[in-house]
């Protein structure tokens, strides 16, 4: 049985900003981030534990999945009881630090 995948409003805003920037600055692959995210959400709907656990001083329950070509991490939570994957952030993996997570 599959999980529902949803984005928080913050993750949706981040995705819009990323897509706008990517389209402008990466004209040879304008839809890459959206295509990679679509594949990632498909994977997470079937295998929500596919990403690695992301541990920091404040968080232990978040996971992250790397979008390999675009180099963005998808940060998410899994609610097994509700069978929902909630994407809380989409963040550039080369920034040197993670996003502020809820």
The domain locations on the chain are 4-91
Task: Using DSSP bridges, classify how beta strands 52-54 and 62-67 pair: parallel, antiparallel or unpaired.
Answer: antiparallel
Return all residues near 57 (Cβ < 8 A) that are at least 6 apart. Answer: none
Main-chain phi, psi angles of 87, to 5 degrees: -80, 120
Cα 34 to Cα 30, 46, 58: the distances in Å are: 9, 19, 29
pLDDT tens across the length of the chain (102 residues): 899 999 999 999 999 999 999 999 999 998 999 999 999 999 999 999 999 988 765 556 889 999 999 999 999 999 999 999 999 999 987 766 667 776
- Please report the pLDDT score of residue 61 as a whole number: 81
pTM, whole model, 2 decimals? 0.89
- Please report the pLDDT score of residue 58 as a whole number: 59
- Please report the pLDDT score of residue 1 as a whole number: 80
Fold of 4-91: YaeB-like fold (3.30.2310)
Question: Do 55 and 75 form a contact (C-beta atoms < 8 A)?
Answer: no
- Please report the pLDDT score of residue 93 as a whole number: 76
Query: Which residues partner with 90 through β-bridges?
Result: 74
């Amino acid at each position: 049985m599959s999980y529902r995948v949803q984005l928080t409003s913050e993750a949706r805003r981040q995705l819009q900003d990323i897509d706008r920037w990517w389209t402008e600055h990466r004209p040879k692959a304008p839809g890459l981030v959206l295509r990679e995210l679509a594949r990632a959400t498909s994977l997470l709907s079937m295998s929500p534990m596919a990403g690695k656990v992301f541990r920091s001083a404040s968080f232990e329950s978040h996971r992250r999945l790397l979008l390999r070509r675009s180099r963005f991490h998808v940060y998410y939570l899994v609610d097994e009881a509700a069978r929902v994957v909630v994407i809380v952030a989409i963040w550039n993996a080369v920034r040197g630090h993670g996003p502020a997570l809820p």
